[in-house]
Amino acid sequence: MTRIGVATTSGLAAEAARYVADRGGNAVDCALAAALLTMNTEPGVCALAGSAYITVWPANGEPLTIDGNTAIPGLGLEAGRGGRGATSLTLDYGGGITTLIGAGAVAVPGSLKAVERAWQLFGRSPWQDLFAPSIAAARDGFPLSAACHYYLGYSGEPIFGRSDDGFFALHDDNRELRPAGSLVRVPHLADSLGSIAEDGARVFYEGDLAAAMVNHVRDAGGSLTRQDLAAFVAIERPSLRVPLGDWSIASNPPPAVGGSVLAAMLMACGDLQTRTWTRDALAQLVRVQRACLGFRKQRLDLAADIGAEAATLLETAKNGRLLSDWASASTVHTSAVDSDGLACAVTASSGYGSGEMPAGTGLWLNNCLGELELNRRGLDAAPAGDRLPSNMAPSVARNADSVVAIGSPGADRITTALQQFLLNYLHLQMPLEDAVAHPRVHVDTSGDAERLMAEPGLDLPDVDIPLHVTSRIGMYFGGVGVARYSPADGIAVAADPRREGGTLVTG
């Protein structure tokens, strides 16, 4: 029997993977089942009507990334129709964010098409098996995670109060947010998932669920159309590959920016002359983050041709010019490997949530068009059908002996969290769990001025930007999930102590 290793967001998601593994599923089946469970049981943090990228690397094949990212809506609408039905909202969450919510912020969802395509290409379980754990959790209720509770403490009323079904799933009769750990039951969600399990993604993109979503968004002033949903396809792309020592790392290619930024960060740190995080090594790490994230903010985020700009970033990192030239919402992740050498990494997001839930569906809609730190073009983004920017970077690393599936949630901290894990594990050769738990730094470029965010326990170098050291390691710095397989050592998994996590090793 094939042995499986999974690192995911919760114990419940790990049990979803076990359900599929016990029925003969492979690493891709288990990753998809866990990811679906997470998308449907992490309210506020993620939702099914959002975006996902899936990177798969078969033992005897080339790595492939499946793009199910959200797209700009409005196919079939007259020019200038967008920009209605959205409200600007500022939350204290994460030190303060401004986002757009409401129907006008809803982008074309792609997660389900990516899941279906990955299953068609690499899965071996029945489609219904992937959904069975999610249907049971929606029907019986699922515990409200601490991460969800924390975010909903800021967003529960202003965002998730926009629909009665959604609000009262998360709040009690006194309109108080339910405590962390309490059971959540979302009306109609089990029925919607049951329809998808029975009829496939078609019902979501062309059937009754599609009609419900489009009618709801249209009536509330948004731009999502039946044509948008019917035209959406999951795009298969060769993964972006970068070497690190004797490893090859496959990640998310353009037009997403996360994989390119991660690749540049790794190439620019590939000559670290140390096996520990000395002050000099940390100084180089910070310089690299500042250079890569500065390039992204100045060049990538508003680029007309992201592929060309990403190629420039990678070339400057490769030839050593990066440091001299450019020194100036919420996600979930699942990693899985199996003893056949198959590896799968799935990262998904629905932004901060639009708060919109079409009546009778139980489906929260994304606000990816309104994630202003990613989609800096805002509601005027065009043309309809183009994919929105993304930090997501589900990755797989392989050498002659081992394969490792890796990824992280964490908005703009995704790439820096993965950079540091990969350097810790592949270059500094830390044990797997230590490589995940080691304190991190992150250069925050979200405001008008840079600042260095750091966890305690590091011998930090002197820097010429404001420094903030947190009181403890925390979820701000991402939530890396790792699953590794080698014939010699078997399967190992690690979930980040910064977030609730679940792991599974079978066999």
Whole-number Å distance between alpha carbons of 352 and 333: 16
- Neighbouring C-beta atoms of residue 237, cutoff 10 Å: 17
Predicted pLDDT of residue 302: 67
**Are 31 and 171 contained in the same domain?**
yes
Whole-number Å distance between alpha carbons of 347 and 408: 7
Whole-number Å distance between alpha carbons of 335 and 343: 8
Q: Which are the contacts of 31, defined by CB distance < 8 A and separation ≥ 6? A: 6, 17, 54, 334, 335, 336, 344, 345, 346, 405
Is residue 486 within 8 Å of residue 472, measured between CB atoms? no
**Are 203 and 280 contained in the same domain?**
no
Whole-number Å distance between alpha carbons of 186 and 321: 52
**Are 418 and 346 contained in the same domain?**
no
Is residue 491 within 8 Å of residue 5, measured between CB atoms? yes
Whole-number Å distance between alpha carbons of 112 and 205: 9
Predicted pLDDT of residue 420: 96
The 3-class SS string of 9-52 reads CCHHHHHHHHHHHHCCCCHHHHHHHHHHHHHHHCCCCCCCECEE
**Is 358 inside any structural domain?**
yes
**Is 245 inside any structural domain?**
no
One-letter amino acid of 407: G
Name the residue with tokens 């042995």: 3
**Are 185 and 294 contained in the same domain?**
no
φ, ψ of residue 67 to 5 degrees: the values are: -95, 105
Is residue 507 within 8 Å of residue 427, measured between CB atoms? no
Whole-number Å distance between alpha carbons of 444 and 95: 11
Residue 240 structure tokens: 């972006």
Is residue 345 within 8 Å of residue 396, measured between CB atoms? yes
Is residue 395 within 8 Å of residue 261, measured between CB atoms? no
Predicted pLDDT of residue 29: 98
CA-nearest of 292, 264, 289, 261 to 461 is 289
**Are 306 and 351 contained in the same domain?**
no
**Is 390 inside any structural domain?**
no
Residue 115 structure tokens: 């899941």
Beta strands in 305-458 (DSSP E): 331-338, 343-349, 395-398, 403-407, 441-444, 451-454
Classify residue 144 as left (phi > 0), alpha (psi -120 to 50) or beta: beta
**Are 58 and 95 contained in the same domain?**
yes
Whole-number Å distance between alpha carbons of 346 and 366: 18
**Is 193 inside any structural domain?**
yes
**Is 400 inside any structural domain?**
no
**Are 187 and 98 contained in the same domain?**
yes
Is residue 436 within 8 Å of residue 492, measured between CB atoms? no
**Are 369 and 305 contained in the same domain?**
no
**Are 131 and 158 contained in the same domain?**
yes
**Is 19 inside any structural domain?**
yes
**Are 175 and 44 contained in the same domain?**
yes
Residue 239 structure tokens: 């993964």
Predicted pLDDT of residue 327: 41
Which stretch of DSSP H or E encloses residue 351?
none
Provide the residue range defining the domain that includes 260: 253-332+409-481
**Is 120 inside any structural domain?**
yes
**Are 70 and 175 contained in the same domain?**
yes
The sign of the dihedral angle between the CA atoms of 178, 181, 182, 185 is positive
Question: Could you read off the pLDDT tens digit of each residue along the chain, which spans 507 residues?
Answer: 899 999 999 999 999 999 999 999 999 999 999 999 999 999 999 999 999 999 999 999 999 999 999 999 999 998 666 557 899 999 887 667 888 999 999 999 999 999 999 999 999 999 999 999 999 999 999 999 988 998 899 898 999 989 999 999 999 999 999 999 999 999 999 999 999 999 999 999 999 999 999 999 999 999 999 999 999 999 999 999 999 889 999 999 988 888 889 988 998 887 777 778 999 999 999 999 998 888 887 777 667 777 788 788 877 777 666 554 444 347 899 999 999 999 999 999 999 999 999 999 999 999 999 887 777 677 777 789 999 888 899 999 999 999 999 999 877 789 999 999 999 999 999 999 999 999 999 998 877 789 999 999 999 999 999 999 998 888 888 899 999 999 999 999 999 998 889 999 998
**Are 180 and 267 contained in the same domain?**
no
Whole-number Å distance between alpha carbons of 51 and 136: 23
Predicted pLDDT of residue 321: 61
Whole-number Å distance between alpha carbons of 479 and 437: 9
Residue 162's alpha-carbon distances to 106, 157, 204, 338, 409, in angstroms, are: 14, 8, 22, 42, 25
Is residue 201 within 8 Å of residue 112, measured between CB atoms? yes
Residue 363's alpha-carbon distances to 43, 47, 334, in angstroms, are: 10, 7, 21
Q: Which are the contacts of 419, defined by CB distance < 8 A and separation ≥ 6? A: 262, 265, 266, 269, 285, 288, 289
Whole-number Å distance between alpha carbons of 148 and 206: 31
Residue 494 structure tokens: 């690690």
Whole-number Å distance between alpha carbons of 419 and 442: 10
Q: Taking the mean position of all CA atoms in its chain, how far away is CA 13?
A: 15
Number of domains, the chain? 2
Q: Regarding beta strands 247-251 and 395-398, do their DSSP bridges make them parallel or antiparallel, or are they unpaired?
A: antiparallel
**Is 494 inside any structural domain?**
no
Residues in the chain: 507
φ, ψ of residue 88 to 5 degrees: the values are: -80, 135
Q: Terminus-to-terminus CA distance in the chain, angstroms?
A: 8
DSSP 383: S
Predicted pLDDT of residue 410: 74
- Neighbouring C-beta atoms of residue 219, cutoff 10 Å: 11
What is the Cβ-side half-sphere exposure of residue 45, based on CA atoms within 13 angstroms?
A: 28
Whole-number Å distance between alpha carbons of 13 and 151: 20
